[in-house]
Structure 1
């Protein structure tokens, strides 16, 4: 029978998948090493298991012990799987910029999760690095795996990821593209591949706000390079011991926006529902595509699964709030509604009950209020609900008595990025006049729907 003795035996041997649509204009063949096929849905399963095995061999991790690690989520998942099978406890520190889904997943497999602030120096006692070190000193029979400086991290990729890619490409790989975080994946994989063929180019993808690119180019740890970024799983504000910069040929930085947008494209155009770093990895390649030849065989490492980013990269509102969605104008949104362009309005003399009926009939939440002189104010479903709930008799009152502030009026060609700053919890819509002098309304849901097309 072809069976596995436990979940850990399913780690590795992930597929290499050809990209066809997004990279159609890229010279050469572009292949994705899709490591979300690992049981913990990320490439980190490889190094997590290796760190545990090496710690056991060296006597640093004993039966009944506690594994402690600072993690953005994926390493924690790999360690948690190993702990479940081998009988260890886990305590993980993470940062408050990580998605809630990652934290919930870690808890689901029995780990304790401690959330620490992101925007502090690595040696600040509140940082997730410092808290992990402190716990390792205080808790008896504990092992701080320290993925950043534990060389078992890169050893895992030297022993598995590199050989798999070499075998899957029949040794024809010419370029390795990989996001750079702890340094384990890019360094370990590159070390193996460079031993096989020193001519293979290794391009590390970094994020703006990380100091790794500047360090690679100058050898200088310039903290002026460091600033907050929302990309997850790569980029650093220090240089982990796992790095061997001699096996990396180039560092390329990608913006938060470009990485997020490309991740969404991967899902829609290639059917690969990947994490943030996969989008950034491919975006980095696209920025460098002019360096490639038609005969090149390029391998991009896609680290993890998109399910951990459904509240962020794959959430339209999150993307909209950060200006990450492709810019469309007020006019584009109105045009996209086709025959549903009629603006529903009400006069101040009508009753609240009349307004409620209009909202029900047209399935809308916001109505501008006009009098003979033009725009007077507005009413909203949420505002009316609060008033009706506290005073049911208000249904017979006039709209004028429950008037809310007028919606902002913007230019008909205002881009969505600007609209996103005007539509908020207190203000649910904006108005605009078209060239013929007719008013139109755009709500939060109009914007989200337009961005999803």
Structure 2
């Protein structure tokens, strides 16, 4: 090969090799252009809710690890305390307001006022939704309920009235006052504003809310495998609506009522008579026996509970001491900070788990969070005054401590 040609080939090879090396180095240093894996027509659907009302429902179903491991059952809680208003009452309030709108009883942003008698949670839900939907709220509640609840109502803009506890037969009962004040506003010829008494105890939109949402959600989340449903009753809406839906899906699902001291519902289920053992029949004008559990328990039949009554298979009377100890157990062993009625529900859930035996699935309700009960349930000084233990229990043996009538009765 001629010398010039040889030099040309060598230069070409050396140049090519140098170029390749430079390209390799630069390609490693230079940031790569992002290439989308989505096609132009492959766009995910938006997942946006409209307003605070869109956040209500579809709460998680959580397995309570410590209780499940101790009993050999799946003990699950519907996390209703994670609703935007921190309770199951958000569902009820929304259904009641929408029902009233459809029937022309409420007009958004027209100055209409929602009146309600409540121990706190339902009022908070109405106040929250009132701000979003365009209503003022006026709440009447017993003055023995936790102060933090009325503080929350005030922060949400509700007009709050704390009144002395009184039996339902007394016109000064908080529910009766709310009813009368709503009528008074509606009848006032000097104002075009309407007053609407929400009437959660008797309003059938209450149980419908749980029949159409809570029940179906539990059934879907459990993939149809539910052995028992356990909850307390205040208005009766949760136990009525949820139980009715679940029993329509599987009539063998056991429904259990958990009831606090002073409530007559336990005896209504077990003995067919509405009274508490600490009272004598015919003394309905006496105040309900004191209990630190708020939001559940009652000494009268409501329209909502009348729907639940034939669906309930078992009932347990749970003591305040058991509820307090369960609250401490859940915080320490599961990191779950829940209210008094939620703790009471968990005591009953463990009881029925032991009754049914390992391998069963029990669903209950976390009604509201612990921070709404900081002045009572989580206040050691208050509990000392009430003579209630608040130490951390070593095990779940406190669940087996029974009152005279604490045995479940199959109906």
Q: What TM-score, normalized by structure 2, do the two folds share? A: 0.77
Residue 139 (structure 1) shift: 1.1
Q: Which runs of 4+ in 1 moved over 3 A?
A: none
**Structure 1 position 96 matched with structure 2 position 143:** yes
Residue 312 (structure 1) shift: 1.4
* CA distance in 2 between partners of 1:88 and 1:256 (Å): 37
Contact 1:68 1:142 in 2 (8 A): yes
| Root mean square deviation, CA, Å | 1.6
**Structure 1 position 20 matched with structure 2 position 65:** yes
Query: What residue is the counterpart of 1:397 in the other structure?
Result: none
Query: What residue is the counterpart of 2:304 in the other structure?
Result: 242
Query: What residue is the counterpart of 1:131 in the other structure?
Result: 177
Aligned counterpart for 2:386 among listed residues 310, 322, 327: 322
* CA distance in 1 between partners of 2:67 and 2:378 (Å): 18
Aligned counterpart for 1:56 among listed residues 101, 104, 113: 101
* CA distance in 2 between partners of 1:320 and 1:240 (Å): 34
Residue 287 (structure 1) shift: 3.1
Aligned counterpart for 2:88 among listed residues 38, 43, 63: 43
Query: What residue is the counterpart of 1:5 in the other structure?
Result: 50
Query: The residue matched to 1:159 in structure 2 has which SS?
Result: helix
Query: What residue is the counterpart of 2:335 in the other structure?
Result: 271
Query: What residue is the counterpart of 1:87 in the other structure?
Result: 134
Residue 3 (structure 1) shift: 2.3
Contact 2:380 2:390 in 1 (8 A): no
Contact 1:42 1:304 in 2 (8 A): yes
**Structure 1 position 286 matched with structure 2 position 371:** no
Residue 68 (structure 1) shift: 0.5
Residue 261 (structure 1) shift: 2.0
Query: What residue is the counterpart of 1:230 in the other structure?
Result: 292
Query: What residue is the counterpart of 2:324 in the other structure?
Result: 260
More strand by share: 1
* CA distance in 1 between partners of 2:91 and 2:112 (Å): 21
Distance 1:272 1:326, change over 3 A: closer
* CA distance in 1 between partners of 2:71 and 2:362 (Å): 10
* CA distance in 2 between partners of 1:222 and 1:31 (Å): 31
Residue 323 (structure 1) shift: 2.1
Residue 13 (structure 1) shift: 0.6
Query: What residue is the counterpart of 2:398 in the other structure?
Result: none
* CA distance in 2 between partners of 1:36 and 1:97 (Å): 22
Query: What residue is the counterpart of 2:16 in the other structure?
Result: none
Query: The residue matched to 1:92 in structure 2 has which SS?
Result: strand
Which runs of 5 or more structure 1 residues have no equivalent in the other structure? 329-453
* CA distance in 2 between partners of 1:84 and 1:326 (Å): 38
* CA distance in 2 between partners of 1:80 and 1:144 (Å): 14
Q: What TM-score, normalized by structure 1, do the two folds share? A: 0.70
Query: What residue is the counterpart of 2:274 in the other structure?
Result: 221
Residue 264 (structure 1) shift: 2.3
User: Pairwise mapping of residues 154-233 of structure 1 onto structure 2 (< 5 A)?
Assistant: 154-222=207-275, 224=279, 226-233=288-295
